[in-house]
A and B are shown apart, each in its own frame.
Chain A
Amino acid sequence: MSGGHAHALHFHGHSPIHRLPAAVKLVGLLAFVLAVVATPAGAVWAFSGYTVILMVLLVLSEVPARFFLTRLAIDLPFIAFALLLPFVGEGPRVELGPFAVSAAGLLGAWNLIAKATLSAGASVLLAATTEVPDILAGLSRLRVPAVLVAIASFMIRYLEVVAGEFRRTRIAMAARGYKPRSALDWKPVAVSAGALFIRSFERGERVYQAMLARGYDGNWRTGAHEPITRSQWLAGLLPGIVAATIMLASRLL
């Protein structure tokens, strides 16, 4: 929900989870999140199961809980949204302390919070244990079109360069007393965004020249992928498989 960050959530380490190939982790993440989202709201025990899985993974990853929890706070605005559901929901009311709240709304709130938090937790774990270039390599291994991966890798390479230029412009403006109050006040910033676009474009041209100079002929060559062993797949998909089993059980029961 936030506009942008300049730094990824990576937490350097050498745990078994850090060492798993990114492609395996990406598939595992998708499986886990799918299971979570497909679980009926009432199956509280299932969500407890997912929480246990996530906690085990967190311990294995050696990512400090504090680091993990602060990164999870991204989700907070939506939690606030969900928390209001009990008060606006319809249908029979139940007593909750001093309030009479909607039972359906209460369930709805729980549903959103549990799912959004568990999924975001799994995403944070991926981001914390996987270097960005490895995420890119994993995507290309999973047959994401090479052009998209290439665009993403250029984006990541130049994110700090471009954001840094932008930040410096805004600091220079602030240093001369500029303080925007309404959208119309944003004219200087918008003009500088236009200028930044031109600079980005011109850098794109120079980068292209640098690529040509090193033999680029229009074919994006991705390096060879290290083979993924069957046990790595199994280890990476295990949480997802367990979660899927829990999900199926919760739907059948």
Chain B
Amino acid sequence: MTQLSVSDLSFSYPDGTEVLKQVSLAISPGERVGLLGPNGAGKTTFVLHLNGILRASSGTISLGGMTLSDQTLREIRRRVGLVFQDPDDQLFMPTVFADVAFGPANFGFPPEQVEHRVKSALESVGEWHLADRAPHHLSGGERRKVAIATVLASDSELLVLDEPTSNLDPAGRRELVALLSLLPTTQLIVTHDLPFVFELCPRSIIMDGGRVVADGPTGELLSNRQLLAAHRLELPFGFDPTNIAPR
């Protein structure tokens, strides 16, 4: 059984830019996978396809056996929790509580359940005490965790995070590692923060120029200097994956 299976996905923006070229990949339930690639590789574009915000010109996406189509769009959107790169885009309601409640309310959960879900989602990221605060008054790390809570509240099966470490300080980044490693949900983590992926994801996929160019154990990919250099990926100075035991 696969959690996510994508085959031959191709997409061009209306202005003609061809961004995705026959992308295929599969992820099993419970896996935590890194999606790496330089700026402009098409990662964000790809991720926006996973719950049908952008629709491919060809190819299929299926989630736990359900193929994405107009009929299944709503259910797929509930099952795929997308955390956007900029929490300011993701957190658009006047309070944290209202924001986390937005998804469950739209997916038709009854009001008492919505409240319960908001509470347990915020508790699982350790930020229930922020419920009545305004999103724009939170720190970067708090915003990121609340953004994750907004998708947890809808019982997503697949958590997709777009560049989750951007704008985080080292402590916020460490807390995020701790949080994600404890969540049992299947995760696809889009980033070019290689040590972050190395710490969290046993497997990684490298995307460049709209194609999947590598797929394998993270340690192996990160030890392949030529591969990394060919796709403008760089390890921080002094970081050597062969010296550190992966999870």
Which of A101-109, A110-118, A166-174, A203-211 forms part of the interface with chain B? A203-211
For chain B, which range describes its interface: under 10, 10 to 19, 20 to 34, or 35 or more residues? 20 to 34
Q: Give the docked Cα–Cα distance between A133 and B132 (Å).
A: 10
B218 sits at the interface (CB 8 A): no
Q: Give the docked Cα–Cα distance between A24 and B111 (Å).
A: 24
Contact: B94 with A153, CB < 8 Å? yes
Contact: A157 with B101, CB < 8 Å? no
Q: Give the docked Cα–Cα distance between A156 and B103 (Å).
A: 20
Which of A27-35, A55-63, A188-196, A216-224 forms part of the interface with chain B? A216-224
B34 → A minimal CB distance (Å): 21
Q: Give the docked Cα–Cα distance between A153 and B107 (Å).
A: 21
- In the complex, chain B residues 11-36 whose Cβ is within 8 Å of any chain A Cβ: none
Given the interface pairs A157-B93, A207-B92, the reply to whether A214 lies near B151 with Cβ below 8 Å is: yes
A149 → B minimal CB distance (Å): 10
Contact: B89 with A207, CB < 8 Å? yes
- Our pick among A206, A215, A223 for the contact of B98 (Cβ within 8 Å) is A223
Contact: B95 with A216, CB < 8 Å? no
Given the interface pairs A133-B98, A154-B92, the reply to whether A209 lies near B78 with Cβ below 8 Å is: no
Contact: B84 with A133, CB < 8 Å? no
Please give, as numbers and ranges, the residues of chain B lying within 8 Å of A185 by CB-CB distance: none
Q: Give the docked Cα–Cα distance between A208 and B39 (Å).
A: 23
Q: Give the docked Cα–Cα distance between A158 and B107 (Å).
A: 25
The DSSP consensus for interface residues of chain A is helix
Q: Give the docked Cα–Cα distance between A133 and B97 (Å).
A: 11
Closest residue to B82 on the A side, CB-wise?
A: A213
B48 sits at the interface (CB 8 A): yes
B86 sits at the interface (CB 8 A): yes
Q: Give the docked Cα–Cα distance between A206 and B114 (Å).
A: 25
Contact: A215 with B106, CB < 8 Å? yes
B135 sits at the interface (CB 8 A): yes
A212 sits at the interface (CB 8 A): yes
Q: Can you report 18 A-B residue pairs in the complex whose CB atoms are below 8 A from each other?
A: A153-B93, A153-B94, A157-B91, A160-B136, A206-B89, A207-B89, A209-B48, A209-B53, A210-B84, A210-B89, A213-B51, A213-B82, A214-B102, A214-B154, A215-B74, A215-B103, A221-B105, A223-B111
Given contacts A160-B136, A206-B84, 14 further A-B contacts (CB under 8 A): A157-B136, A158-B88, A161-B136, A209-B48, A210-B82, A212-B53, A214-B102, A214-B150, A215-B74, A215-B77, A215-B106, A216-B106, A217-B74, A223-B105
